[in-house]
Amino acid sequence: MVFAHAGGWLVSLLYAAPIVIIVLALVVQKRRERGREDEPVASPEAGEWTPKPSSEPRTSSNG
């Protein structure tokens, strides 16, 4: 009887698995974005530290 009860829980977990995977993927992506925003372009030891440019699309003035 213990296995039948555990089997019921396992079936329920299968329904929750896609949601858990999506949430984990979003968390990982957010942490990667934060890490990239904090990285400097050049090393501070070289005296050329500048913040990394934003990833916003550039507009061209050709025209």
pLDDT reported for residue 42 = 58
CA atoms within 13 A on the CB side of 22: 5
Question: Which comes out higher in pLDDT, residue 44 or 31?
Answer: 31
The DSSP code sequence of 1-63 is -HHHHHHHHHHHHHHHHHHHHHHHHHHHHHHHHHHHHH-BSS-GGGT---BPPP-PPP-----
Average pLDDT over residues 3-23: 86
pLDDT reported for residue 48 = 61
Q: How confident is the model at residue 8 (pLDDT cuts 50, 70, 90)?
A: confident
Question: Which comes out higher in pLDDT, residue 7 or 51?
Answer: 7
